[in-house]
A and B are shown apart, each in its own frame.
Chain A
Amino acid sequence: TQLLEQSPQFLSIQEGENLTVYCNSSSVFSSLQWYRQEPGEGPVLLVTVVTGGEVKKLKRLTFQFGDARKDSSLHITAAQPGDTGLYLCASGTYKYIFGTGTRLKVLA
């Protein structure tokens, strides 16, 4: 069974700082999704990466897929309080497995 490990588990930063969170797998990803979950809500998809080495940008968020497709990172530039939430990576073809999540808090 594929295992997805995310780090760090918790992150508390000041508004305006940059941060990177990571998702690593015990085996090759078929594809990799990043979700954000806010309190009281279900996760919402941010991005899907498919090709090794792929980089995708979503405003201040940059997603990178490792060349060997066994790791991925999410970089946030100039974090804002609205970025606060639980960031989850997920992988699978038809059955999606989730990582343990990184809980981010951005302080104003």
Chain B
Amino acid sequence: DADVTQTPRNRITKTGKRIMLECSQTKGHDRMYWYRQDPGLGLRLIYYSFDVKDINKGEISDGYSVSRQAQAKFSLSLESAIPNQTALYFCATSGSGRGTGELFFGEGSRLTVL
């Protein structure tokens, strides 16, 4: 099984619908991240969390919310999806300690908003 698991892997939805993307990890890491990937724009940070009680906004948090239900679980919600939120979403984790840590990514969740 993958160390970082994302569900669903693919989702097609309609404008205005609420969507939740889930991420779970077995690496025992404290830090978890949600990124969005669009062609030509690389990966952009949406939210990050350093522990269950710590949630921080990233570069592009508008229109998104997150929940850290447990050390191993970090979910991303789109309360009312819009077409420009169509993208590939990645969850990542990293260990604590000095900041040259490696990011471990899930396989991604492809979201299409019609």
Contacts and interface: CB of A to CB of B under 8 A. Distances in A.
Interface of A: 1, 4, 6, 9, 30-31, 33, 35, 40-45, 48, 50, 88, 90, 92-101
The B contact surface, by secondary structure, is strand
Interface in B59-114: 59, 90, 92, 94, 99-100, 102-103, 105-108
B103 A94 contact: no
Contacts of B35: 98
A98 B105 contact: no
Binding site secondary structure of chain A: loop
B50 A48 contact: no
Residue among B33, B45, B99 with the most chain A CB within 10 A? B99
Interface of B: 4, 31, 33, 35, 40-45, 48, 50, 56, 58-59, 90, 92, 94, 99-100, 102-103, 105-108
Nearest to A10: B40
Given A1-B59, A94-B50, A96-B33, A45 B102 contact: yes
Given A1-B59, A43-B43, A43-B105, 20 more contacts: A31-B100, A33-B102, A35-B103, A41-B105, A42-B4, A42-B106, A42-B108, A43-B90, A44-B105, A45-B103, A48-B102, A94-B99, A95-B45, A96-B33, A98-B35, A98-B42, A98-B43, A99-B42, A100-B42, A101-B42
